[in-house]
Amino acid sequence: MAEKRSTPTIEVRNATKHDVDAIIALSSKVFREEIGYTRGMILGQLSAFPEGQFVVVYEGDIVGYAATMILPEEKALAQHSWAEVTGGGYAAMHDRRGEWLYGTEVCVDPDRRRLRIGKRLYDARRRLCQDLDLKGIAFGGRIPGYRRNASRYPSADAYLDAIRAGEVKDPVASFHLAAGFEPVRVLENYYPRDEASRGFAALMVWRNPYYDPSRDDQPVNRGNPDVVRVVTVQMKARRIGQPQDFYDAVEYFVDVASEYGGDFVVFPELFTLMLLSCEAEELKPEAAIARLTEHTPDFVERLTAMAIRRNINIIGGSHATRTEAGAIQNLGYVFLRDGSVHVREKIHPTPNERQNWQIKGGDRVETIETDCGPIGVMICYDSEFPEVARRLTDQGARILFVPFNTDTRHGYLRVRYCCQARAIENQCYVVTSGMTGNLGNVDNLDIEYAQSAIFTPCDFPFARDGIAAEASENIEMVTVADLNLATLNWARYEGSVRNLRDRRLDLYRTRWSDGG
């Protein structure tokens, strides 16, 4: 089966000159009572620092814009006004020799507030700051709640102190604090036309945790050592009265993972079988597959929307369905936060899947490109075949996701031990997600055993037992871990053992049917 993928619905990319008219229209929509950006201003920003200007595109329309430049520390952190620091909006003060990424503007379409456009733009700035190895990000943030609270707080400094202490919520400054920015000082006369802030702003900063001030010669473009936060869901099989109950449960966990700042949330293999529990009677395998196939379009549409709305990549467990070619397959759907959907086949159906469900194995093992780098998906039994993980690793995957569904402890342990072996031999992370509980009226969900976990290689920088985190046995819960990709690189080149580099390719190798 050929790879299925859709085009991204939402995308964050660098702005180009072709976007100028759309950016101007957006700024006019956002700043309704003021004069928005002119063509000359946007062109000036693009000319000064093209890699620092970002747009968010949703269904072909530009719905967000962020402008940045680089400033020396003495300018970025000193008293200044918006006009001074931006050269009147043209980014004329941009200085590539500076140490701080300075945010001059963020525009978000007011009709698209639920897409987390602002968060996507701030995340793009953070990545750029880390890529350029700058000290951090600074900007003058509005404090629009000051005017209505001026009688309680006689100065802007007092009002900012109250925001810091949590005594008052400001619609903008409190958002910046929650997003990890630190208020340094009040900027006086920053933007005089901002009447709600009475012309003041809060100098907000975010300090790059990867910046090393002890190094005399900081490279301009070093590898980005992003930490990837993964959230694995150990989900309880529950009887539902209608399909909406299933999607409500899924969305609850997606929301939780998003609130924890997750980059990925992982669901178990065959978790969509719960959709069959609202049937009047238990369906035989052939009828069950037909019913699940009817659910497929709705399943894809709903989880795609969740990934976009909550700005998180969803590993959608697996879903047994009849494909367009007529074959019955156990498919893993991956919903990326850019709106694209990828489908991965279970390569090795179990004997039960083959005999009772007539499920056929797939014939493609490919990575998926994500905003956190390439990833791989192995569905349950696939993890017990080392060739699959090795091919995904050779293609660049550093995180392998394993949705599983096991009925007994010994079945679960087969998956667990093999996943730990895959993490060691490929020097990668392996994230597992399993089902717990039981459903008497759904075949294949009658009993479930799981202890979902996140595994690492076994070496000094990692957890001593090679377990970054794990769930309690047979309890519905989420498990969270931060996975440092730079640490994997160290292990592969400097570790106590170097499994990938020490392979004896002169003695053995795996040859795939496509020549790989």
State both tokens at 38.
């002119």
* Residues with catalytic roles: 269, 346, 380
Could you read off the pLDDT of 424-438 as tens digits, one per residue?
A: 999 999 999 999 998
202-211, 238-247, 358-367, 428-437: which has the minimum mean pLDDT? 202-211
Is the whole-model pTM more than 0.85? no
Mean pLDDT over all residues of the chain?
92
- The pLDDT of residue 217: 43
pLDDT at 31 over 90: no
Could you read off the pLDDT of 162-196 as tens digits, one per residue?
A: 999 999 999 999 999 998 899 999 999 999 989 99
- The pLDDT of residue 222: 30
Domains of the chain in sequence order: 10-215 (3.40.630.30), 228-489 (3.60.110.10)
What percent of the chain is predicted at pLDDT more than 70?
A: 95
Using the structure block, give the residue that is written with the tokens 């001059």: 104
* 66-75 per-residue burial string, b: 16 or more CB within 10 A, e: under 16: bbbbbbeeeb
Could you read off the pLDDT of 459-508 as tens digits, one per residue?
A: 999 999 999 999 999 999 999 999 999 898 889 888 999 998 898 888 98
Q: At what angle do helices 386-394 and 409-426 cross, to 10 degrees?
A: 40
Q: What radius of gyration, in Å, describes the C-alpha atoms of the chain?
A: 26
pLDDT at 214 over 80: no
- The pLDDT of residue 174: 94
Closest CA to 353 of 231, 270, 425: 270
Residue 382 one-letter amino acid: D
The Cα–Cα gap between 324 and 336 comes to 22
Q: At what angle do helices 285-310 and 243-259 cross, to 10 degrees?
A: 40
Residue 35's pLDDT band, with cuts at 50, 70 and 90, is low
The Cα–Cα gap between 354 and 498 comes to 37
pLDDT at 223 over 80: no
The Cα–Cα gap between 84 and 88 comes to 7
The count of C-alpha atoms lying within 13 angstroms of the C-alpha of 359, restricted to the half-sphere facing its C-beta, is 25
The Cα–Cα gap between 399 and 258 comes to 19
pLDDT at 218 over 50: no
- Could you say which DSSP state residue 160 is in? H
Higher pLDDT, 223 or 210: 210
* Sheet strand arrangement including 10-14: 10-14, 54-58, 61-71, 100-108, 136-142, 201-207, 182-187
Mean pLDDT of 1-16: 79
Mean pLDDT of 429-456: 92
pLDDT at 143 over 70: yes
Residue 34's pLDDT band, with cuts at 50, 70 and 90, is low
Could you read off the pLDDT of 43-102 as tens digits, one per residue?
A: 999 988 999 999 999 999 999 999 999 999 999 999 999 999 999 898 989 999 899 999
Mean pLDDT of 10-18: 95
The Cα–Cα gap between 250 and 244 comes to 10
Contacts by residues 86-89 (CB-CB < 8 Å, ≥ 24 positions apart): 87/44, 88/41, 89/37, 89/38, 89/41, 89/44, 89/45
Burial class (CB in 10 A: 0-12, 13-18, 19+), 441: middle
pLDDT at 213 over 70: no
State both tokens at 3.
């790879």
pLDDT at 225 over 50: no
- The pLDDT of residue 7: 66
State both tokens at 320.
């047994």
